[in-house]
């Protein structure tokens, strides 16, 4: 939107195809997709920190680099999407379309949320009951927001749900210290 306003394309019905506009839109869309996914990654890191209350648990967790591999894969897909139309692309009228791998972001986010739930459930006896319930509700809330957004295609509904969930997560972190 900012690019269109800046370059006076808002009142033109069939704007000419301009690569500088598409590059800017691609960059914004890539950043948006990646930041949405990063929220699920942060939830997984939060669950990992919450479930690592003793040294034995920390040693049994997968190394952080292995946990980072899916989000790095998503970054590669997002970077390659403008050229190869993997997860999204724009047509000549600047209308965005989903690519063949658009669902991969949801799968990776669901992996992180399932991983978080597994860690918290597995270590539930070491976590305070109120903290455990709050963290599980955070995971359910985030998952529900993603599924609703995927089903209803409401613009940025999942970002709103993730933001509320992250505020709850911040409250839990501050309340537990």
Q: pLDDT tens-digit profile of 32-43?
A: 777 778 878 888
**Residues near 17 by beta carbon (within 8 Å), at least 6 away in sequence:** 92
Higher pLDDT, 75 or 43: 75
Total H helices, total E strands in the chain: 7, 2
pLDDT category at 72 given cuts 50, 70, 90 is: very high
Mean pLDDT value of segment 61-68:
78
Q: Do residues 37 and 108 make contact, with C-beta atoms less than 8 angstroms apart?
A: yes
Predicted confidence (pLDDT) at residue 107 exceeds the cutoff of 50: yes
d(C-alpha 124, C-alpha 63), whole Å: 21
d(C-alpha 160, C-alpha 150), whole Å: 14
Q: Which of 80-89, 134-143, 153-162 has the highest mean pLDDT?
A: 80-89
d(C-alpha 22, C-alpha 139), whole Å: 35
Predicted confidence (pLDDT) at residue 130 exceeds the cutoff of 90: no
Angle at 68 between CA 64 and CA 74, to 5 degrees: 175
Q: Do residues 108 and 76 make contact, with C-beta atoms less than 8 angstroms apart?
A: no
The overall average pLDDT reported for the chain is: 75
What's the pLDDT score for residue 34?
79
Query: Helix 64-84 crosses helix 19-51 at what angle (to 10 degrees)?
Result: 170
Mean pLDDT value of segment 3-28:
53
d(C-alpha 44, C-alpha 25), whole Å: 29
Mean pLDDT value of segment 114-137:
83
């Amino acid at each position: 939107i900012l690019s269109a306003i800046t370059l006076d394309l808002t009142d033109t019905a069939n704007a000419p195809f301009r690569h500088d506009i598409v590059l800017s839109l691609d960059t914004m869309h890539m950043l948006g997709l990646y930041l949405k996914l990063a929220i699920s990654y942060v939830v997984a890191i939060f669950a990992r920190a919450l479930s690592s209350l003793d040294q034995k648990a920390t040693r049994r967790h997968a190394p952080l680099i292995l946990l980072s591999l899916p989000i790095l894969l998503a970054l590669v897909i997002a970077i390659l999407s403008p050229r190869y139309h993997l997860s999204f692309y724009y047509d000549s009228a600047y209308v965005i379309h989903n690519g063949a791998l658009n669902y991969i972001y949801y799968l990776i986010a669901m992996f992180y949320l399932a991983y978080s739930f597994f860690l918290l459930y597995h270590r539930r006896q070491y976590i305070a009951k109120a903290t455990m319930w709050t963290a599980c509700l955070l995971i359910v809330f985030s998952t529900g927001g993603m599924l609703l957004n995927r089903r209803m295609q409401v613009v940025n509904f999942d970002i709103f749900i993730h933001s509320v969930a992250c505020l709850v997560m911040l409250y839990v972190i501050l309340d537990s210290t």
